[in-house]
Amino acid sequence: MAMVQPGNLQRRVWAARVAMWLFLLITLSPLVVLVLASLESGNTVTGSLIPRHFSLGHWYLALGIPWTEADGSITPPPFPLLTWLWNSIKVAIISSAVIVMFTTIGAYACARRRFHGQRVLLAIMIILPMFPPVLALTGIHSLFDQLGHYLAWLGVDSLWSLTLAHLGGAILPFWLLKGYLTTIDSAPEEAAIIAGATTWQVLRYILLPSFAPILMTAFTLAFIASMTEFPVASVLLHSTDKLTLPVGLRHYLRPEHFLWQDFAAAAILCGLPITVVFLIGQRWLVSGQNVFRVRD
């Protein structure tokens, strides 16, 4: 608390509070509208915020269960939402696991060891996020198109191809881990090396125990990036049962086929887990995006 306080403090506090409440009202109201819309029956935009005809139908459909209306008619789920969610999770888990394995060792090497060309390599890695995969879509599509001539399961319209393509998201986890490593004390590792430990032993017995939380964070970062990735997935995947969540969810809101309430339930169902994971990891994630500040 500052020692010197202006006289009109109370008025200022209240002004700040009101401003904050107003801002939060505007910012968070879309989310409230979305929740309410998912509980309204039917699929037309009503224009009223409070549901007039309360119904859990859209939630049933989002979970893949056919919904029986009051008049006996049965509505089947419009899209295989849970399949899409599962596809996204599969791709994200495998690609993130591989990314974390590779970047852990790479980050260790770049943070603790010196080798020829290291400065140039790190400079390249700093600017690489400026060239996102969205600019290389033609290249990615063509590469997998050609691979598919030889290995059908690595061609276009395969989840394995997408998993491989998502390995391109290794840069941010790399910087997160390297940034973390440069901030922690290297004395225990050096002691172990002097005692004759191999690199593997240092990684396994000295680093890994204290490293687990940051590894989980790196995994979360890569996982969320893969779960929410759209351009590459939309280029590589075509068949309905192979889509990932971001590509599939778009089909709910096409101008000619506008399923607003169905979308609301689906979006909450799939968006909520990602949001929760993000909120848990955000403290670390943010410091991870800040890593450029703590470079040595």
How many Cα neighbours within 13 Å face the side chain of 10?
0
Contact set for other proteins, span 107-136 (CB under 8 A):
107-110, 113-117, 121, 123, 125-136
Under DSSP, is residue 8 helix (H, G, I), strand (E, B) or coil?
Answer: coil
**151-154: long-range contacts, CB 8 A cutoff, minimum separation 24:** none
Q: Which amino acid is at 244?
A: T
- Pick one of 61, 85, 162, 249: the residue that binds other proteins (CB under 8 A): 249
Quote the tokens at residue 221.
């970062």
Contact set for other proteins, span 263-282 (CB under 8 A):
263-264, 267, 270-271, 274-275, 278-279, 282
- Pick one of 16, 55, 119, 184: the residue that binds other proteins (CB under 8 A): 16
- Pick one of 18, 22, 23, 212: the residue that binds other proteins (CB under 8 A): 23
The C-alpha torsion from 204 through 205 and 210 to 215, rounded to 10°, is 10
- Could you tell me which stretch among 50-58, 141-149, 152-160, 212-220 binds other proteins (CB under 8 A)? 141-149
Contact set for other proteins, span 205-234 (CB under 8 A):
205, 224, 227-228, 230-231, 234
Q: Does 83 bind other proteins (CB under 8 A)?
A: no
Query: What minimum distance in Å lies between the beta carbon of 288 and other proteins?
Result: 12
Contact set for other proteins, span 28-67 (CB under 8 A):
28, 30-31, 33-34, 37, 45, 47, 49
Give the angle 251-25-280 at the CA atoms, nearest 5°.
65
Cα 237 from Cα 165, distance rounded (Å)? 12
- Do strands 257-258 and 67-68 pair parallel, antiparallel, or not at all (unpaired)? unpaired
Q: Does 252 bind other proteins (CB under 8 A)?
A: yes
